[in-house]
Amino acid sequence: MQLAAKYNPADVEDKWYAYWQKHRLFHSEPDEREPYTIVIPPPNVTGVLHMGHMLNNTIQDVLVRRARMLGKNACWVPGTDHASIATEAKVVAKLKAEGVDKAGLTREQFLAHAWEWKEKHGGIILEQLKKLGASCDWERTRFTMEPALSDAVTRAFVHFYNKGWIYRGVRMVNWDPVGRTAVSDEEVIHREQQATLYYIRYYIGDGSGAYLTIATTRPETIMADTAVAVNPNDERHKHLHGKKVLIPLIGKEIPVIADDYVATDFGTGCLKVTPAHDINDYEIGLRHRLPVVDILDDDGKLNEKAQILVGEDRFAAREKIARMLANAGHLEKTESYANQVGFSERTSAVIEPRLSLQWFLKMKDMAEPALQYVMNDEIKLIPDKFRNTYRHWMERVCDWCISRQLWWGQRIPAWYLPNGDVVVAATEDEALLAAQKTNPALTKTDLKQDDDVVDTWFSSWLWPVSVFDPQAIGNPGHTPNADLQYYYPTNDLITAPEILFFWVARMIMAGHEFMGAAPFRNVYLTGIVRDKQGQKMSKSLGNSPDPLMLIARYGADGVRMGMLLTSPAGNDLPFDESLCEQGRNFCNKIWNAFRLIKGWQAGAHAAQPAHAAQAVTWFRNALHKTIADINDDFDKYRLSEALMKVYKLFWDDFCAWYLELIKPHAGQAVDEVTRSATLSFFDMLLRILHPFMPFISEELWQQLSARNDGESLMTQRLPAAGGFDEINISNFEMTKNAITAVRTIRQNKNIPMKEPLELYVKGDFDPALFPLMQKMANLSAVYPHAQQAGQPGASFLLGTTDFFIPLGNLLNAYEELKKLRDDLAYQQKFVAAITQKLSNAKFVQNAPAQVVALERKKQADGEARIKAIEDKLLIVNG
RNA sequence: GGGAGCUUAGCUCAGCUGGUUUAGAGCACCUGCCUUACAAGCAGGGGGUCAUAGGUUCGAACCCUAUAGCUCCCACCA
């Protein structure tokens, strides 16, 4: 069969993925082998694949496939996250587009729409991962809101409630007025914004015309002011302590209070105190027992307590009130001011600090052991610079607001009784039983369940446990099932640093709480995929290529390589399509090397030529050395470097040197010894390539020789690092340099490759390697001694070995002489520098013996080279 | 404001315990080649004051100090 000159990924990718699935090669069951486990960071169920997923999942697949080929029982558990707020926002938007308002729906109606949406869009992303070649155990696919996992979340809630760590209280929380829900501190992103600082006059209520001026960026909240505060030590305002001022526009009287919090060197030294809409003001309010006036509704519009601008959005109100204040003569001035504003991670709405009744989980007691796992290296963060960041956060962790005013998610298992009491239980029946202990007359209709759901992360922090055995959460006395016992703790977690606290830290806490053990051993933190301008690639910026389009264009293997080429752990990946192009080109190189080998006839009786025997010996050594190097890279999670070594091994060592060496001249056959050695090398190379480039390696492995149905490269063993001969490798290295030097002379002197040359070698060089040079540099003869005096030609030095090519009339004698003299001058300078170093008594005394010996050898070698050049100058000069 | 990290070739990065002749790689670039596996290729080549300035040391890309620039994380100054 004639193979095309170019590799066409589309011909093979779907075929092999289907084959792997058909033979259940991704599936894992506990057995006597050592497990290797990864749980996928579950993507949003209705999400689509973006470049971050591509990077993240390529890394996971490389690690999983490699572990599998190392003989481990590899299990990569896939799944999706219900992504409470993100999904609910999408469903709300979709309904809105259809003219349906969420407020007009019952919870049940809304959830019906949400599930419909999930069924329609859910899992698309998992299908996309298959295009990438992800070897997930799809039979184990989980969803964070499937019944068993939701029940585990509920039990976790009950568990912590009974432990006294979950409590309900009124606190200032981060309110997302678009999502109309509370969000946790970690879901707030602070960004600097150019704002306006308004200087507003508050007149003293005595009609004297005296006033003080406050500076604020939020004039629309003045109606919620319940005091104006000044620093007690601020001389400027001491006379005002205890006086009353009037809120402009509404004329409400509020006290002037003294509090240390107020800075004297900022603004005017007077602070409006708005306990309902600012966390600091809230705390001042608590200290001074100020009333709380909340003038904002949950959607960020002013309510009737504001008295004016009722129903206006907070930002519209800000502009309007500024004009009203100016018209009323209360606006002293405005100035531009850069301040930090919090935005919602999910909806991008400006976060509103808001007082509300929420559920919280105490973190202190969980943070401590979770910190220890990382500090004592039971869990390794890769790269380890994240240890500091992790510690910093864990040491100052605050209680976690876990309730969300949403419907899509696990509903909080708390029921309120008619008398206002609350019972927390895993089910309604259990809640009723508990309630009846105090009042036997109660029935189910008396119980009213909390409307809120829990934060998404309150479900995903259970993921490494619940994907295997959801019953292991919150069931005292439960014996972990076989899966959990076998696969937990998992080995590696591959995720983005952005969710180190959201998710990774909390998984460690949950793992410790429910399993008494860390959920994973290593956390590999990927970087952010950026475009050429350094911007994060995102759908909203429109600078992200469509991953499936990339796969169509460059092949999955090409894209995988593109993702891995320049992304060491923790580093951002400056993505460029040319990286995928390089991957595609590499695939083509592999393909063509195969075409060459495949074309050789078996059973040729020719004797193995000397150069081929040398080549086989050398490549075996080079291969084993590289395998050892790659193993070392993987031990250190240096995937980019491992890939680069594979790339060079295949392209440079195997194709450019080995194949070129053993390649017969046109029409000649390859001897059988060399041919079978080459096939065996190629087989090993495919194994090494497979974790990185699963499709092309499988395709070629299948073509390499007849395979049984169900056989696959992905379940073969990686070649183990064998011993190798360093001397042979370095001798070959020198041979390569000699060949390159001869080729350079050809190029410089315009001597075509077809024209054979002679070579004289004087000095340390193994004559056994002469045939290699003859083949690769087209040398008719190599003589193991110096040329005759007076011969015109070109020469070069490698180490202390002198090489000479007679060129007859091709030579430009003047040029050659100049080159030798330049060389001589350089060597003399070099030796002079070393001689000076060696004449420094302190150096000879203090430096280790081998360093001094090395310098001595450099000196001797340099002197030998000088001697050789001088000799040659004599010869050239005749 | 606090903390962490970075700065090595045009770009992206290695350089691990201070000493391996004159600091490496991939890509890009330049030159010559369609040589029967591959032009998505082959052969050859050029390119760096290791951010700057001091210091320690026999010896510094590497250790210390300062300066400049960049990045990330955390944080309630209106």
As given in the structure block, the two tokens for residue A145 are 């809101």
Residues A753-779 have a mean pLDDT of 90
Please report how the helices A147-162 and A506-515 are oriented relative to each other, as an axis angle in degrees rounded to 10. Answer: 80
Nearest to A611 by CA among A648, A660, A684: A660
Strands annotated E in A514-619:
520-525, 529-530, 573-574
Q: Is the CB of A261 under 7 A from strand B?
A: yes
A504 DSSP 8-state letter: I
Q: Measuring from the CA of residue A532 to each C1', which nucleotide is nearest? A: B11
Q: Measuring from the CA of residue A502 to each C1', which nucleotide is nearest? A: B73
Does the pLDDT at position A800 exceed 60? yes
Residues A231-250 have a mean pLDDT of 89
Which residue shows structure tokens 């809105």? A96
Residues A307-311 have a mean pLDDT of 93
Residues A268-296 have a mean pLDDT of 91
Mean pLDDT of chain A: 91
pLDDT bucket at A831, cuts 50 / 70 / 90: confident
Does the pLDDT at position A721 exceed 70? yes
A717 DSSP 8-state letter: P
Instruction: Find the DSSP H helices in A725-840.
Output: 726-749, 770-777, 813-839
Q: Give the residue whose CA sits closest to B58 at C1'.
A: A843
Q: Give the residue whose CA sits closest to B2 at C1'.
A: A392
Calpha distance A778→A783 (Å, rounded) = 14
Q: Give the residue whose CA sits closest to B37 at C1'.
A: A596
Please report how the helices A577-598 and A672-689 are oriented relative to each other, as an axis angle in degrees rounded to 10. Answer: 150
Coil vs helix vs strand at A526: coil
Q: What is the pLDDT of residue A809?
A: 67
* Residues paired with residue A761 on neighbouring β-strands, in sequence order: A803
Does the pLDDT at position A878 exceed 60? no
* CB neighbourhood size of A625 (10 A): 21
Calpha distance A278→A506 (Å, rounded) = 28
**DSSP string covering A170-218:** EEEEEEETTTTEEE-GGGEEEEEEEEEEEEEEEEETTSS--EEEEEES-
Q: What is the pLDDT of residue A344?
A: 87
The pairing of beta strand A422-424 with beta strand A414-416 = antiparallel
Calpha distance A664→A241 (Å, rounded) = 100
Calpha distance A801→A438 (Å, rounded) = 99
As given in the structure block, the two tokens for residue A639 are 């995937």
Residues 6+ apart with CB under 8 A from A680: none
Give me the sheet containing A414-416, strands edge to edge.
A422-424, A414-416, A448-449
Residues A535-559 have a mean pLDDT of 88
pLDDT digits (tens, 9 = 90+) for A380-394: 999 888 888 898 888
* CB neighbourhood size of A124 (10 A): 15
Q: Please identify residues in chain A, positions 581-600, with a C-beta within 7 angstroms of any atom of strand B.
A: 582, 584-585, 587-589, 592-593, 595-596, 599
- CA dihedral sign, ordered A808, A810, A814, A819: negative
Coil vs helix vs strand at A376: coil
Q: Is the CB of A400 under 7 A from strand B?
A: no
Residues A259-285 have a mean pLDDT of 88
Calpha distance A555→A693 (Å, rounded) = 10
Q: Is the CB of A789 under 7 A from strand B?
A: no
Q: Please identify residues in chain A, positions 210-239, with a C-beta within 7 angstroms of any atom of strand B.
A: 214-218
How many residues are present in chain A?
A: 878
Does the pLDDT at position A592 exceed 90? yes
Q: Is the CB of A193 under 7 A from strand B?
A: no
Does the pLDDT at position A318 exceed 80? yes
pLDDT bucket at A811, cuts 50 / 70 / 90: low
Going from the C-alpha of A590 to that of each of A187, A558, A579, A677, A695, the distances in angstroms are 46, 12, 17, 17, 12
As given in the structure block, the two tokens for residue A430 are 């259990």
Which residue shows structure tokens 């993987």? A634
pLDDT bucket at A877, cuts 50 / 70 / 90: low
Q: Is the CB of A842 under 7 A from strand B?
A: yes
Calpha distance A377→A361 (Å, rounded) = 27
Coil vs helix vs strand at A798: strand
Calpha distance A831→A96 (Å, rounded) = 82
Geometric angle at alpha carbon A364, from A462 and A274, rounded to 5°: 105
Does the pLDDT at position A808 exceed 80? no
Better-predicted residue by pLDDT, A249 or A833: A249
Q: Give the bases of strand B that a protein CB approaches within 7 Å.
A: 2-5, 11-14, 19-22, 25-28, 31, 35-45, 57-59, 72-78
Q: What is the pLDDT of residue A483?
A: 98
Q: Assess contact for A713 and A687: CB atoms under 8 A.
A: yes
Q: Measuring from the CA of residue A741 to each C1', which nucleotide is nearest? A: B44
Does the pLDDT at position A10 exceed 90? yes
Calpha distance A628→A422 (Å, rounded) = 63
Residue A40 CA and nucleotide B38 C1' are separated, in Å, by 38
Q: Assess contact for A135 and A65: CB atoms under 8 A.
A: yes
Q: Please identify residues in chain A, positions 646-665, with a C-beta within 7 angstroms of any atom of strand B.
A: 647-648, 651-652, 655-656, 659-660, 663
pLDDT bucket at A694, cuts 50 / 70 / 90: very high
Q: Give the residue whose CA sits closest to B42 at C1'.
A: A656
Coil vs helix vs strand at A331: strand
Q: Is the CB of A817 under 7 A from strand B?
A: no
Residue A747 CA and nucleotide B31 C1' are separated, in Å, by 9
Among A7-16, A563-572, A657-666, the range of highest mean pLDDT: A7-16
Q: Measuring from the CA of residue A581 to each C1', which nucleotide is nearest? A: B40
Helix, strand, coil percent content, chain A, rounded in steps of 5: 50, 20, 35
pLDDT digits (tens, 9 = 90+) for A495-532: 988 889 889 999 999 999 999 999 999 999 998 888 87
Calpha distance A102→A107 (Å, rounded) = 9
Calpha distance A51→A580 (Å, rounded) = 13
Residue A529 CA and nucleotide B51 C1' are separated, in Å, by 26
Q: Give the residue whose CA sits closest to B44 at C1'.
A: A744
Q: Measuring from the CA of residue A7 to each C1', which nucleotide is nearest? A: B40
Q: What is the pLDDT of residue A810?
A: 65
Q: What is the pLDDT of residue A533?
A: 74
Calpha distance A382→A637 (Å, rounded) = 8
Q: Measuring from the CA of residue A666 to each C1', which nucleotide is nearest? A: B36
Calpha distance A471→A485 (Å, rounded) = 13
Residue A759 CA and nucleotide B4 C1' are separated, in Å, by 59
Q: Is the CB of A861 under 7 A from strand B?
A: yes
What totals of helices (H) and strands (E) does chain A contain, helices first?
28, 29
Percent of chain A with pLDDT over 90: 65
Residues A328-351 have a mean pLDDT of 87
Which of these ranges, A85-89, A221-225, A874-878, has the smallest mean pLDDT? A874-878
Q: Assess contact for A75 and A37: CB atoms under 8 A.
A: yes
A384 DSSP 8-state letter: T
Going from the C-alpha of A676 to that of each of A603, A679, A699, the distances in angstroms are 10, 5, 20
Q: Give the residue whose CA sits closest to B41 at C1'.
A: A589
The pairing of beta strand A801-806 with beta strand A793-798 = antiparallel
Query: Rounded to a whole number, what is the largest CA-CA distance in chain A?
Result: 122
Please report how the helices A124-132 and A556-564 are oriented relative to each other, as an axis angle in degrees rounded to 10. Answer: 90
Which residue shows structure tokens 């309110």? A175
Which of these ranges, A124-128, A303-307, A403-407, A844-848, has the smallest mean pLDDT? A844-848
CA dihedral A552→A557→A558→A559, nearest 10 degrees, is 70
* Chain-centroid distance, C-alpha A540: 20
pLDDT digits (tens, 9 = 90+) for A580-591: 999 999 999 999
Q: What are phi and psi of A781, to 5 degrees?
A: -155, 150
* CB neighbourhood size of A473 (10 A): 23
pLDDT digits (tens, 9 = 90+) for A410-446: 999 999 999 999 999 999 999 999 999 999 999 999 9
Does the pLDDT at position A1 exceed 60? no
Q: Please identify residues in chain A, positions 618-637, with a C-beta within 7 angstroms of any atom of strand B.
A: none
Q: What is the pLDDT of residue A812?
A: 67
